Each structure stands twice: as C-alpha cells, then as structure tokens.
Structure 1
Amino acid sequence: MRKLMTAKTTAMAVLALLAACSQAGEAADAPEPPAPAKVGRDAAYEAAAGEPEGFVRALYGVYAATGQASPAPGRDPLLGRTLNAMVGADHNQALGKGRRPYLRKDFICDCTGGQVVLTSVQTAQADKNNAEAAVVFTVDGQEKRQTLKLVREGMSWKVADVLVPGQAPLTERLLKVIE
C-alpha cells in the first residue's frame, strides 16, 4: 500500500510540475504588449531614420503633441547642419544687436501657433541622401503649401531648406539678414 501511495504521490507531483511548466511556457510565448507609440518630437526623431515621407508626416505630427519645448535656435536635431547654423546665427546676431530675429514664426508650419493639420505629402527622392516633400497643410483651417528640401545626414533625414510659393528659399532669405 505504501508503494502505491508513493507512486500515486510521485505521479501527482509530476503532473503538477508539467502543468506549471506548460503554463510558464504559454506565458513566455504570449506576445508582449506593444510599446506606447512615440509622439511629438520623439516620434519625429525616430521617423527620421526611415523613409522621407514618414519623416515629414512625423514632423508635422509634432504640432499635434502639446507641451513639448523646441530646442534652442540653431540646435534642432530635425534641421540640417547648414540650416541650423543659419537659424542660430539669425537668433544670436539679433540678440547681440538688440533687434528681433528675422525668424519670428515657425518656418515648418509657417505659423506662430494654432492647429496644424497635414493634408497631403508627396515625396520625390533625387538620390539616397536628398529628397523633396511637397506638403499641403492647414493652420486653423487656412490652407498652406510649401516644399521641404530634405537631406540625409548620417542615418537621419533632416530639413535642409523650406520653399514657400512666391518667396525665395528660406536659406537665401536668412543669408541676407545674417552677417
């Protein structure tokens, strides 16, 4: 009788272990919940490593995120080196001379605030490091159009210039005001 009890106890212990192992295996095989989607500038930084269109969509998505501070003028990781230097020079020279900077509004949305909604993006990639994105968007319901010149610096797309219909390219306008 004792051998029967020991065999029965051993069998139950083995079954309990097998059940525990199969439950642990099921838990390990279950997919992890997706990471929270990045928003605002974090989403744009991540998208910069992908395709030009995704980068531009994320760039305009920054305006939907609230409470995110912009980097200091001339230090924006979403802008190319040359444009960043020009923006910084405009800001720093203006402060040094006691005048207002030429750039008094956000040149990506051509606005000083409001609700920005991207309505269309058409990209064309000239080569692996240069692209253009024709964008149509609204600011508080007012339609605007412009073309973003993009450059790949390292592994990331950056805004190199902004072309607004009827105006000289942003870089040309900045060259006239910085010394």
Structure 2
Amino acid sequence: MRVQALATAAALALTAAACSEPTSTPAAAEKAAPALTGRAAVYAAGEKDAEAFVRALYARVSEPRDTPAPAEATITPGRDPLYSRTMNALIGVDDREAKRTNSAPYLDHDPICACQDIDGFALKTVTMTPDGPRAATAEVVFTNHGEDRRRTLKLLKEGPMWRIADIIDDKGKSLHDDLMAIAEKAPG
C-alpha cells in the first residue's frame, strides 16, 4: 500500500511538472535583456563601482555618434548626472558667463577625452586608487587621433552613483580649478 502511495505521489509530481510553465533561468533572462549603451550604460556602471564607471565613460566616448542621443540632447550645462554637484555648479557658471559675455564657454569640448571628435579612439589603461569609501582617483591612458593622452579623474560617490569631481589633464591642469577661476570672477 505504501509503495502504491509513493508511486501515485511521484506520478502526480511528474504530471504537475509537465503541465507547469517553464521557468527561465537567470542566464536566459540576461541574454534576453538588450545590452546597455551610451549614458544608460554609464549610469548603470556608476552604481556598481568607480572602475566600472570610468570604463563605461570611455566606452561611451568611443561609440559612434552621428547625431546626439535623445537623452543627451536634454541635458543642459550644469545639470549633467555624470558630474558631481560642485562640478555641475561650476559648469553652469561657465555657461552663464559665456552667454552673458556673448562668448564661447571655457568648456566647449568633452573633457573626458579632451576632444570634440574622435578617430581611432582606444582606451589603453585604467589605474584606480581608492581615496576613501566614497572617493577614488582614476589614472587613464587612451589614444585618439593616433596620439596617446592621459587624464586623471577625481571621482566622488554621491548618492548611489559615482560621479566626476575633477579632470586633470596630462600637464596637471585641473578642470575644477579653471572653472572655479571663472566662477570667482563672475559678478555676484
């Protein structure tokens, strides 16, 4: 009798399993989701860790862009989620001062690559140094237009995401300091 009950239970379990909907595995779900690109990839990486954020920034630079992405077209100077609150404030002052004086803003290029266009762009190395639990420095070497370039990115974690607090060029010139000088001269 007990053997017959076990056999009946096993048969019912097999029948239920055969009739139930197949479940997708996490790997199948990952394969089905489209790969993030552009700013979406940078934002997602910025919530992971500082190095992932930096690598995504430079991957975005190397993406072909014939026309601005719709998400980027809506970002105004001084309100870019890639930059820290302080850098955004300084970028905003630079933009307002340029409009006030009817001149080009100091920041008229992509400071991440110090470029307005790309040709043969390739990220070569990223060396990370933690500066505390919510700060890090990234030493970056990349090639653009056949020339090796270096940038030092000072990063801060504000909220859930890593952001750029400063960009220092290969001559030691700080974008933060240059923008701060503009802000200090601006009328109050």
1:127 matched to 2:132? The reply is yes
Contact 2:109 2:115 in 1 (8 A): yes
1:75 to 76, 79, 86: 79
Instruction: Tell whether 2:112 aligns with 1:114.
Output: no
- Provide the residue aligned with 2:34 in structure 1: 36
C-alpha distance in 1, partners of 2:117/2:154? Answer: 22
Count residues in correspondence: 163
SS at structure 2 position matched to 1:127: coil
> 5 Å matches for 1:9-158?
18=15, 21-22=17-18, 24-25=20-21, 27-29=22-24, 31-32=28-29, 33-65=31-63, 66=65, 67=67, 68=69, 69=72, 71-115=75-119, 116-158=121-163
Q: Hey, what's the Cα distance between the residues in 2 that align with 1:177 and 1:28? A: 58
Q: Which moved more, 1:166-175 or 1:152-161?
A: 166-175
TM-score (normalizing by structure 2) = 0.78
Q: Contact 1:90/1:174 (CA < 8 Å) preserved in 2?
A: yes
Q: 1:38: how far off? A: 0.4
Deviation at 1:114, TM superposition (A): 1.2
Aligned counterparts of 1:106 and 1:74: Cα–Cα separation in 2: 14
TM-score normalised by L of structure 1: 0.82
Mapped partners of 2:91, 2:61: distance in 1: 20
Q: Report how far residue 141 of structure 1 moved.
A: 2.1
Alpha-carbon deviation of 1:139?
1.4
Structure 2: runs of 5+ lacking an equivalent: 1-10
- Mapped to 2, the partners of 1:118 and 1:43 lie a distance apart of 16
1:63, distance to aligned residue in structure 2 (A): 1.6
Superposition RMSD on alpha carbons, in Å? 2.2
Question: Aligned-pair distance for 1:105?
Answer: 1.3
Q: Is the 8 A contact 2:94 2:179 kept in 1?
A: yes
Could you say which structure has the larger radius of gyration?
1
Contact 2:62 2:118 (8 Å CA) reproduced: no
Indicate the larger mover: 145-154 or 62-71: 62-71
SS of alignment partner, residue 145 of structure 1: strand
What corresponds to 1:160 in structure 2? 165
